[in-house]
Amino acid sequence: MNKKWVASTALASVLAAVGISSNTSHVRASVSADDKSNDNDAEKIGSNGKDNSVASVMDEQGAPVSDSTDTPSEGSDVSDAKAAKSSLLKAQSSALTQATTTSGATSAQQQAFLAMAVPMAQKASSQYGVYTSVMLAQAILESGWGTSDLATEGNNLFGIKGDYNGSYITMKTAEWNASQGWYYIYANFCKYPTYFESFADNGNKIRNGVSWDAKYYSGAWKENAATYKDATAALQGKYATAPTYAASLNNMIESYNLTKYDEKSETDGGAEDNNDNNSGVQQVNGTQTAMDDVATVTKKGAAPLYTDAYPDQQVGTRALAEGTPWKVISKVVTPEGETYYQVSTHEFVKASDVQLKSEETSTTQPPVAISDTATVSNTNGAVVYSSGDANSATDRTLPYKSSWVTTAYVLGDDGAKYYLVGTDSYVKDSDIQLASETNTDESDQDVVIDYPDVVHVIATPSARLYNSKHQVSTYRALASNTDWKVDKKSTHSDGSIWYRVSSDEWVSANDVQATGSNYVTSVNGTVKINYIPGYGVNVYNSPASNHKFTGKRLADGTTWKVTSKQIVDGTTWYQVVGGWVDGKYCIYTAV
């Protein structure tokens, strides 16, 4: 796919966080005619080698925009668009420089963000062997201290695209190219249950790289980066295209002393030691016993931390997010009989706020490792389970015909197989079809015909896209109430209808409404009105079936210059000055 399809992250939110606002009306998405022949590989690999599965506010283009974001209007000519592009990029650079120094976030917002983010970033960075300070600086910069739309709506701090265990949000993004100028597309971004999954996903990306190079970000690994500056330098040009990306991260790290969080994550298991004085350290509040376990937070929202298990010494700057796991190295039973678990050098969490892994019970069998693809065959979708247990159904459903990589299955207490398709996400065998058990490729039976038309998206909030193999796309979706050109129609073996909107992207007929309009064709000629002498033909505002009379008529026998024609439901229409006329009353002559 052409690089102009690629979306980016929350530039609009960062600009808003540093006090930049403007007024531009909403412009609906469109597809240029040349998208039919584009190469899908550019969806993940930018022309300059940039990782396009993640989008940075410091990329050259592609940030999600709100309706009030100041971007050029759709259809700007090339020279205006180039000038506007330069202006926007300068404003972006200025805004991001400000974000790393004074920042539009209030002190209270900054403290609240760090209180929630620090222990999660420490745990994720420790797990993946990267710098906590760099991870925090990226999160602050990319999300505007957690105030961006991606952060508030999807806990997405890094602009990672696609979906997380099937959950995603769709955002409008501004794009630019020399032939088309500025235009808009819509892209899917991961929606996480908490900040921790966002930090972990970022850590996994930095550690495991991209599909074409597992060591793509190896320069940012701790074993390869002697300092945080070496790590940020390794991200520049790969994570973000701006030549000042590393400097911006360094400025953020130094301005907010983020390096103080680096070394503690390796020894504290994910939380900061609040007592930096080696002299006069208080004893723990009770009887302490060493242990080796993992505690998962069950308290709604977050679990408070307590210094040395004293109930009146709650840590004010951090808490452990609901659902996150933490290594436990000891427990303390206080004189009052209350139990606390140690998760850091001087930080403890109440036993009532967590669940120990050693105390969990399960009736399911051990997982069986496999390597396969599960496609949802249940027309109502596949219910997602949090474990291999019929009683663990969640409120999430994977869409019909969507495909998911599965690496293991467990045998549930009901005798059914539950296939692992994501972290703590399973689908039941009766709802899916494994690729290994499919004898033929159903796509071979598709009947495809040429079908130039325009479709209007009626699905909310968006219509998912699929490739020619009936596999769901995790990178893009079509937003509701937008219009898209199509060039082919496919009828699947099950009778379902699909329209092609790009080289290997198809949308279900259930999610769109075909308008019955062919493409507008540019022409150079004249029409002579052939009607009733003494009368004229009506001029309409468009050739669509719901067109409106403009109040103007063209007299019989007069000749008019024509610039475009369009065929709607078999009728040819010509565009003249002031609107469109029905071709059955016209004699066309090419110039």
pLDDT tier at 58 (50, 70, 90 boundaries)? Answer: low
pLDDT tier at 580 (50, 70, 90 boundaries)? Answer: very high
Given CATH 2.60.120.460, say whether it is the number of domain 521-590. Answer: no
pLDDT tens digits for 323-356?
888 889 899 999 888 999 998 878 899 999 998 8
CA distances to 159, 168, 178, 502, 512 from 64, in Å: 10, 14, 20, 21, 23
**Lowest-confidence pick of 132-146, 279-293, 496-510, 526-540:** 279-293
What residue ranges do the domains of the chain occupy?
3-265, 271-359, 368-437, 442-514, 521-590
pLDDT tier at 275 (50, 70, 90 boundaries)? Answer: very low
The residue among 62, 86, 102, 99 whose CA lies nearest residue 245 is: 99
Structure tokens at 590: 């090419």
18 in helix, strand or coil?
A: coil
- Residue 177 has φ and ψ, to the nearest 5°, of -145, 165
Strands 483-491, 521-529: parallel, antiparallel or unpaired by DSSP? unpaired
151 in helix, strand or coil?
A: helix
pLDDT tier at 364 (50, 70, 90 boundaries)? Answer: low
Tell me what pLDDT residue 449 has: 85
Is there a contact between 385 and 362 (Cβ–Cβ < 8 Å)? no
Largest CA distance in the chain: 107
- If one counts every other C-beta atom within 10 angstroms of the C-beta of residue 551, the result is 9
Local structure of residue 226 (DSSP, 8 states): S
> What architecture does CATH give domain 442-514?
Roll (2.30)
Tell me what pLDDT residue 437 has: 77
pLDDT tier at 362 (50, 70, 90 boundaries)? Answer: low
pLDDT tens digits for 219-243?
999 999 999 999 999 998 888 877 8
Residues belonging to the chain:
591
* pTM of the model as a whole: 0.43
**H or E stretch at 432:** strand 432-434
**What is the rounded average pLDDT of the residues 366-393?**
87
pLDDT tier at 42 (50, 70, 90 boundaries)? Answer: very low
Owner of token pair 């495991």: 208
pLDDT beyond 60 at 66: no
pLDDT tier at 9 (50, 70, 90 boundaries)? Answer: very low
Strands 579-582, 571-576: parallel, antiparallel or unpaired by DSSP? antiparallel
pLDDT beyond 70 at 400: yes
Tell me what pLDDT residue 365 has: 64
pLDDT beyond 60 at 69: no
Count how many Cα atoms sit within 13 Å of the Cα of residue 531 in the half-sphere of its side chain. Answer: 20
Please state the separation of Cα 325 from the chain's center in Å: 25
Structure tokens at 132: 């906590």
Tell me what pLDDT residue 34 has: 35
Is there a contact between 45 and 212 (Cβ–Cβ < 8 Å)? yes
206 in helix, strand or coil?
A: helix
Q: What angle do CA 373, 374, 375 make, to 5 degrees?
A: 120
- Residue 210 has φ and ψ, to the nearest 5°, of -120, 170
Structure tokens at 300: 């709604």
- If one counts every other C-beta atom within 10 angstroms of the C-beta of residue 323, the result is 15
User: Which has more pLDDT, 491 or 278?
Assistant: 491
Tell me what pLDDT residue 101 has: 38
Structure tokens at 213: 């190079």
The residue among 192, 166, 177 whose CA lies nearest residue 72 is: 177
Is there a contact between 363 and 413 (Cβ–Cβ < 8 Å)? yes
Tell me what pLDDT residue 369 has: 87
Is there a contact between 565 and 575 (Cβ–Cβ < 8 Å)? yes
Is there a contact between 35 and 5 (Cβ–Cβ < 8 Å)? yes
pLDDT tier at 543 (50, 70, 90 boundaries)? Answer: confident
CA distances to 1, 480, 517, 542 from 483, in Å: 19, 9, 11, 16
CATH class of the domain whose range is 3-265: mainly alpha
64 in helix, strand or coil?
A: strand
Mean pLDDT (the chain) is: 77
Integer Rg of the chain from CA: 29
CA distance 344 to 116: 16
Is there a contact between 566 and 507 (Cβ–Cβ < 8 Å)? no
Tell me what pLDDT residue 540 has: 93
Given CATH 2.30.30, say whether it is the number of domain 271-359. Answer: yes
Is there a contact between 473 and 467 (Cβ–Cβ < 8 Å)? yes
90 in helix, strand or coil?
A: helix
DSSP-assigned beta bridge partners for residue 497: 491
Tell me what pLDDT residue 31 has: 31
266 in helix, strand or coil?
A: helix
CA distance 303 to 320: 5
Structure tokens at 419: 């296939």
What is the phi-psi region of residue 209: left when phi exceeds 0, alpha when psi lies from -120 to 50, beta otherwise?
left
The residue among 375, 380, 325 whose CA lies nearest residue 354 is: 325
Task: Assess whether the region 442-514 and the region 521-590 belong to the same CATH fold.
Answer: yes
Strongest mean pLDDT among 58-72, 276-290, 300-314: 300-314
The residue among 19, 574, 38 whose CA lies nearest residue 6 is: 38
Tell me what pLDDT residue 542 has: 81
CA distance 56 to 297: 31
CA distance 203 to 141: 16
**Lowest-confidence pick of 161-170, 333-342, 440-449:** 440-449
- If one counts every other C-beta atom within 10 angstroms of the C-beta of residue 232, the result is 27
Structure tokens at 196: 């921790």
